[in-house]
Amino acid sequence: MSLASDTYFLFVRALKKVMRNPILLFFSLLQPIIFLVLFTQLFSRFVGAPGLFPPGISYLEYATPGILLQNGFSSALQSGTSIVDELNSGMLEKMLVTPVNRSAILLGRLLSDAFRVVVQSSIILVLAYILGFNAASGAGGIILILVIIAFFGLAWSGISLAIGLRTRSAETVFGIGGFLTFPLLFMSTSLVPLKAMPDWIATVSNLNPISYAVNAVRGLSLPSSALPGLGLSYPGDIISALGYIAAIAIITLGATLYLFRKVVK
């Protein structure tokens, strides 16, 4: 069997496994939906603070890109639990005695995780649209937003998979994922602009990969007139974000591939 056909088969298998556990899907979407529905209303008057936000945009328009990236980030950091389950149940060993392409085992898993992030992000975008969000760049911009989020999720899923392969512990994957999610989220431009942050958090935010990805999505969703007031540029932020995400992907997926090869030997 070829790499492409094996990858497709394992991609479909991973999706079916996820669909058989709708509770997991529900709870993985619950947190970003709470952020979208409650936080954007709770802080709706935040945009009235002098000098923090450009005129003419709502907090919903500002925060939705951050909520999308938060979903992609947290979902990606959960992906290692699936590989732990297959390791501990013996399913991976059973796959290794078949003629399936070894690279397809990992590639199918990564593609299914990226696809899941895109579907979840699409649901959040629909809900945000109902609440009043509208991407200024239109349908083409929304497609590019989903591509950036999928690429971002793919890069960060490498961390979760590497932890899962190294520790073989779902609890460790969840623990480290939870430890990383909120500090990186709140020390980024996901929910507040740099001007509203203490100097030390702003410094961290300028190095935070979530900020780069959020700024790229925000550049595609906000009107061009609002970007200079937030220190954003189009398409410069998109190019920077893709470069930053690619660097992370090389490191995280390289570590995953190294550990996976040790497992399948």
**Domain ranges (residues) in the chain:** 3-264
Say how far apart CA 164 and CA 220 lie, in whole Å: 34
Say how far apart CA 108 and CA 87 lie, in whole Å: 16
Decide if 87 contacts 46 (C-beta within 8 A).
no
Please classify residue 120 by burial: count the beta carbons closer than 10 Å to its beta carbon, then call 0-12 exposed, 13-18 middle and 19+ buried: buried
Residue 200: predicted pLDDT: 92
* DSSP codes of every residue in 188-213: TTSSS-GGGS-HHHHHHHHH-HHHHH
Say how far apart CA 198 and CA 186 lie, in whole Å: 12
User: Which two structure tokens, joined as six digits, stand for 169?
Assistant: 């512990």
| The most confident of 6-20, 41-55, 196-210, 222-236, by mean pLDDT | 196-210
Residue type (1 letter), 75: S
Give pLDDT tens digits for 172-202. 887 887 777 788 888 998 888 888 889 999 9
CB neighbour list of residue 10: distance below 8 Å, 6 or more residues apart: 100, 104, 105, 107, 108, 109, 112
Is the backbone of residue 134 left (phi > 0), alpha (psi -120 to 50) or beta? beta
- Whether 224 has a pLDDT exceeding 60, the answer reads yes
What is each CA distance from 90 to 85, 96, 130, 165, in whole angstroms?
A: 8, 10, 45, 13
Give pLDDT tens digits for 88-120. 777 777 787 778 887 888 888 888 888 888 988
Report how many helices (DSSP H) and strands (DSSP E) the chain contains, helices first.
12, 0
